[in-house]
Amino acid sequence: MKFSGRKTDEQITETLDPEEAAREIARIQAGKRKREEEERNAESDMLSINPADLNRVRDFVMSRIDSTVINELPRQTILAQIEEVVAEAADDNRMELNGAEQALIASTIIDDMIGNGPLEILLEDENVTEIMVNGPHSIYVEEAGKTLLSKVRFRDEAHLQTVAKRIARSVGRVLDEQRPYVDARLEDGSRVNIVLYPISLDGTSVSIRKFPKDTLALRDLQKFGALSAEMAAFIECIAASRCNVLVSGGTSSGKTTLLNTLGEFIRPTERVVTIEDSAELKINVGNMVRMETKPGTSESGSVPITQRDLVANSLRMRPDRIILGEVRREEAFDLLQAMSTGHDGSMGTLHSNNPRDTCSRLENMILMGGVELPTKVIRSQIVSAVDFIVHAARGADGKRRVTNITEITGLEGDTIALQDVFFFQRSDGKRFNAGEYVANPVNLRCAGKLKEYGFYDKAMDAILSSPRPEEKS
């Protein structure tokens, strides 16, 4: 069994009084920031070294190592040996390098040989959530919701393409002139998209969306201010009561993270089937089957396996819940069919601007699939299948929030009727993106499900204990 000497913030809070706990957490965070600053300074030092000198060191090292055995040795063993060669190269070229610079250069050379090149340091940085490469000399990162220009660079376009093709090979994909783009995932679950030059006009593009190593729980999102305690309690109620839920939002709004948190409340006795284009969900359920789509290849003559194919097949696998990582195309109709035919508690995510737009996009996806049904019939299907839409958005301040928990209540004429149970009400003050989470005291259409699973009272308590919307003149 592995033990850690470091305590989490929760453990510190439990063992110390509030003031001492706050001081201890602040001390730990200050130490962490100091270490990160030292690492950035070392990176900056390396970047300030003359590129010609760096190339001489790199060439010297490459001439002294056996590339055929480097993949068979542990990284730390290789690193120690290359650091010695880097020191020797520095002496030969009369370069003054300190220990941190030598270690960083050695690590960079290893990353170029067997890793992800200059991207490795960004992939290891837990503060970086997205990496956007717009060519060899233009790399942006997202930290704490803010997009920043990184000091990390590739040597040239050839260097960038070498790393990009290595990433593609590592996930079993081919990247060349015939197939100049790839959409896949890394071993750690990060999502990666690559577009080669000259399709990407300013140089090869690499977009990597990282996911936390530790799955965030709903209480973590509450701590971050992404939703209120009452909203978290209500979400627990509807997930545990097997309501059908769609998580909607724009790009990078936190949809997948939110869907993962809903998985916390799935009972261990339930059988779950997840279907994704790129496997990103981290739902901890024992009786679960994870499936991923597969693109067709002209070389082998294999046909593509789509999400619609997998949804249709999953119905024969005796699932209690079906979860789609992202609803994009005609599989929307099959998911709605599953939700309406005994697979209560099914979920999925899709891109939209608001809950009303979510319903419109579902309708459009069904029509795109060639389903020849009247509009009113399609809308009746949506009303019958979906109980709640949980909408997430990313504000102008970079903060991700659950802005709406909306119930689908029925059809009013030809229009789908919605009611906001909870929503984020922005204030009219001068504070940047300020507001509060409020609730409407509504009668729930899905009260029967909540009562069946014993969560009705808790759900109503969450609604009634929340602040009410302010009337705006």
pLDDT score recorded for residue 4 = 37
Question: Which of the two residues, 407 and 367, has the higher pLDDT score?
Answer: 407
pLDDT score recorded for residue 348 = 96
Reported as a pLDDT band with limits 50, 70 and 90, residue 107 is confident
Average pLDDT score over residue span 363-390: 92
20 pLDDT higher than 50: yes
Please state, in angstroms and rounded to a whole number, the distance separating the CA atoms of residues 473 and 293.
51
pLDDT score recorded for residue 430 = 57
180: preceding bond cis by omega (within 30 degrees): no
22 pLDDT higher than 70: no
pLDDT above 90 covers what percent of the chain? 53
pLDDT score recorded for residue 93 = 75
Please state, in angstroms and rounded to a whole number, the distance separating the CA atoms of residues 208 and 186.
9
427 pLDDT higher than 60: yes
> What CA–CA distances, in Å, run from 470 to 186, 439, 455?
46, 10, 28
pLDDT above 70 covers what percent of the chain? 85
pLDDT score recorded for residue 398 = 81
31 pLDDT higher than 80: no
pLDDT score recorded for residue 112 = 80
149 pLDDT higher than 80: yes
Average pLDDT score over residue span 216-239: 94
141 pLDDT higher than 80: yes
Which of 199-208, 289-298, 327-336 shows the lowest mean pLDDT across its residues? 289-298
Encoded amino acid at 408, one letter: I
143 pLDDT higher than 70: yes
Contacts of 464 (CB under 8 A, 6+ apart): 439, 441
On average, the pLDDT of the chain sits at 85
Residue 121, helix vs strand vs coil? helix
pLDDT score recorded for residue 381 = 94
pLDDT tens, 80-101?
888 888 888 888 877 777 777 7
Are 140 and 132 in contact, with CB atoms under 8 Å apart?
A: yes
412 pLDDT higher than 80: yes
Average pLDDT score over residue span 444-453: 96
Residue 208, helix vs strand vs coil? strand
pLDDT score recorded for residue 48 = 56
Question: Which of the two residues, 2 and 250, has the higher pLDDT score?
Answer: 250
pLDDT score recorded for residue 39 = 46
Are 161 and 204 in contact, with CB atoms under 8 Å apart?
A: yes
Are 38 and 25 in contact, with CB atoms under 8 Å apart?
A: no
Q: What is the DSSP string of 355-388?
A: HHHHHHHHHHHHHHTT----HHHHHHHHHHH--E
Average pLDDT score over residue span 247-268: 93
Are 386 and 406 in contact, with CB atoms under 8 Å apart?
A: no
155 pLDDT higher than 60: yes
38 pLDDT higher than 70: no
* Residue 326: half-sphere exposure toward Cβ, Cα within 13 Å: 17
pLDDT score recorded for residue 44 = 47
35 pLDDT higher than 50: no
Please state, in angstroms and rounded to a whole number, the distance separating the CA atoms of residues 341 and 339.
6
pLDDT score recorded for residue 173 = 83
Reported as a pLDDT band with limits 50, 70 and 90, residue 7 is very low
pLDDT tens, 40-57?
454 444 445 666 777 788
pLDDT score recorded for residue 428 = 73
DSSP E strands in 171-263: the ranges are: 181-185, 191-195, 205-209, 245-249
